[in-house]
Amino acid sequence: MKTLISGGTRGIGRATALDCAARGWPVALNYRGNAAAADATLAAIREAGGTAHAFAADVADPAQVARLFDQAEAALGGLDAVVVNAGIVEQVMPLAEMTPERLDRIVRVNLTAALYQAREAARRLPDGGTIVFVSSAAARLGSPGKYVDYAATKGGVDTLTIGLAKELAPRRIRVNGVRPGIIDTQIHADGGEPDRVAELGPTLPLGRAGTAAEVAAAITWLMSDAASYVSGAILDVAGGR
C-alpha cells in the first residue's frame, strides 16, 4: 500500500512509517523543516530493506500540500493511503492568555491543514483507498488550563473523520481516526513540559505513558485489510485515559 504520512519523520509519524515499511508498504514522508530527522528516518527504513522518500512541506499551506501530493505520487507511482498526522502544540496556558496569532497557528496546522490534506486525498486516492487521521484524547478531555485551542482543533478532526467516512464510502475509501493519549515523543517539550511523560505516566490508568510504536500499530491496523469493515471509527489509544 503506497502511503503518504504527514509529519512522518519524528514521533508517531516515524513509528507509523517504520511499521508500514515492515509490512512492505512504500512510504512518502512529509516534514516541516527538520531535515536531519527526515534523513535518519529514511536511513532506518532503507537499512531495513524498505522504500521511503521524504519531502519538506508546510501542511498549513494549500499550495505546498498539493505539491507534496504530486511529489509523493511521482515517487511512489500513485497513492493508496494517507495518514494525516502532522500536528503541533504550543506553550501550556489558559485560553485567556493566548494570543490571536497563536490561536490562528494552532487552528491552521492542526485543523485547516488536515482539511487541505483530506481534500487532496479525496481527489487523488483510488476507489478502495484509505485515510487515517491522528487526533488526540484531548478532543474528548478538552485540556483545560493547558491547551484548549489544540483540543478544539482535534475535536474538529474527529468531526472531519466522521463526515468524510460517509462522503467517501460510496468509493469504498475507508476513513478512520486514532486518539492517542500521552505518548512519549518530543511534542511535550514543545508545550514547555519536557517531563510530562515521566510525571503523568504513573497517574494514568495503565500506569504509564504510551509509545509511538503502540499508536503506529493501531494506525496501520486501521489501514490494513484486517480492518476492511471499519470506517468512521475513532480508536482511543490512550491507556484507558
Rounded Cα gap, residues 169 and 156, in angstroms: 20
Answer yes or no: are the C-beta atoms of 103 and 25 closer than 8 Å.
no
135 or 231: CB nearest ligand NAP:
135
What are residue 144's phi and psi, to 5 degrees?
-60, 140
Answer yes or no: are the C-beta atoms of 124 and 73 closer than 8 Å.
yes
The least distance separating ligand NAP from the CB of residue 192, rounded to whole angstroms, comes to 13
Cell 512519549 locates to 184
116 is catalytic: no
Could you please report the per-residue DSSP string of 18-82? HHHHHTT--EEEEESS-HHHHHHHHHHHHHTT--EEEEE--TTSHHHHHHHHHHHHHHHTS-SEE
The least distance separating ligand NAP from the CB of residue 171, rounded to whole angstroms, comes to 25
Q: In terms of Cα–Cα distance, which of 62, 31, 231 is closest to 131?
A: 231
Residue ranges in contact with ligand NAP by CB under 6 A:
6-7, 9-13, 30-34, 37, 58-60, 85-88, 109, 134, 136, 180, 182-183, 185-187
Per DSSP, the three-state class of 5 is: strand
Q: Active site residue: 31, 116, 147, 150, which one?
A: 150
Answer yes or no: are the C-beta atoms of 69 and 119 closer than 8 Å.
no
The set of catalytic residues is: 150
